[in-house]
Amino acid sequence: MDWIARGAAVLLLVATTACGSAVATPGTAPGPGATPGATVPGAGATPGVDTGADGPGVDTAHQQPASAGKALAALAALPVKGRAPKTGYSRDQFGPAWSDVDHNGCDTRNDVLRRDLTSVALKPGTHDCVVLSGILSDPYTAASINFQRGNATSTAVQIDHVVALSDAWQKGAQQLSPDRRLSFANDPLNLLAVDGPTNQAKSDGDAATWLPPNKSFRCAYVARQISVKSTYGLWVTQAEHDAMARVLAGCPDTVAPAGPPATSPAPAAQQPAPAQQAAQPAAPAQVPEAPAPAPPPAAGVYYANCTAVRAAGAAPIRAGQPGYSGKLDRDGDGVGCE
């Protein structure tokens, strides 16, 4: 009987070992979205770009991080409300255009151009900030566009707010603080370098009224809008929600990209209180001089078009400068007659 007991023990040990080996082995496939660099079916990789995780030409500007959640789940969590009035909206509500919110010494527009273009040439003496030229693989049209900085050429590539500022204003941004709106307008998650004319056609449309002509990018585009609205506590209209759901129905595993939001402006440094000094005898009172008269206000400046702006040597003209108007700023980025 002892040999029977010993045989049973051996069989039990073998069975236990076999079960244990099936628990986990190196190389076991992780759950959806857990592998960094994994591509999402229908997420819209730009044609001609190698989407291999380690290969050359990885489309880092449009890559969706593995840690992000499913876009459909994030969409379900967004509030659905009606569009608020546009009353009070202006570009100024979102702070100065293309501010250096991350304090790297470069404005946001040039930061995005450096991120999204390839074969970039930078202007000497600008601390590698100002982009002079480059090539854009446009996500909206799938076209390759040569960018050349200049008054007549810069608008070929524009920086699009994926969730338009006006759309955001009507869907919750009115309640954000000025600093939060400034961060929204400069958040890299909400910015893409795109084809200029296509950006103009989009205007301030949401997913219910406009989607990229490049259908292979629509899943990634809608997922990015959902992520931006989730990050900043904005809502969607019912029509917008339904349009997003229709797009994602064809790519249900698409993840909502996540990224660090733009840094808020640094608070002004507080100066230490001056050391108290011993009281000095009061100086005799002096008769104050009459203040100098204020200079007369400058006459209103008006430019009929960008030709007039350039003739006056005022190009490019920025929001807040005398003579600036929306008709001079075709891409609505706060910088006219580029």
In a domain, 49, yes or no: no
Q: Read off the pLDDT of residues 208-235 as tens digits, 9 standing for 90 and up.
A: 999 999 999 999 999 999 999 999 999 9
Q: Read off the pLDDT of residues 60-69 as tens digits, 9 standing for 90 and up.
A: 334 333 345 8
Our count of domains for the chain comes to 2
pLDDT score, position 113: 98
Mean pLDDT, the chain, integer: 77
pLDDT score, position 235: 98
**Are 241 and 311 in the same domain?**
no
pLDDT score, position 306: 81
**Are 106 and 214 in the same domain?**
yes
Whose structure tokens read 């304090």? 103
Q: Which of 6-10, 92-96, 196-200, 227-231 has the lowest mean pLDDT?
A: 6-10
In a domain, 227, yes or no: yes
Four-residue CA torsion sign, 199, 203, 205, 210? negative
pLDDT score, position 285: 55
Residue of 311 and 174 predicted with greater confidence: 174
**Are 240 and 324 in the same domain?**
no
Backbone angles phi, psi at 221, to 5 degrees: -65, -50
Residue of 302 and 193 predicted with greater confidence: 193
pLDDT score, position 332: 66
Q: What angle do CA 140, 144, 150 make, to 5 degrees?
A: 95
Q: Is the overall model pTM greater than 0.85, yes or no?
A: no
Mean pLDDT value across residues 115-144: 98
In a domain, 112, yes or no: yes
Name the domain boundary from 206, 225, 250.
Answer: 250
In a domain, 274, yes or no: no
Exposure letters 59-80 (e unless 16+ CB within 10 A, then b): bebbbbeeebebbbebbeebee
pLDDT score, position 286: 56
Residue 46 clears pLDDT 60, i.e. is over it: no
In a domain, 14, yes or no: no
**Are 149 and 234 in the same domain?**
yes
In a domain, 311, yes or no: yes
State which residues form the domain around 330. 306-336
**Are 318 and 208 in the same domain?**
no
Name the domain boundary from 250, 265, 285.
Answer: 250
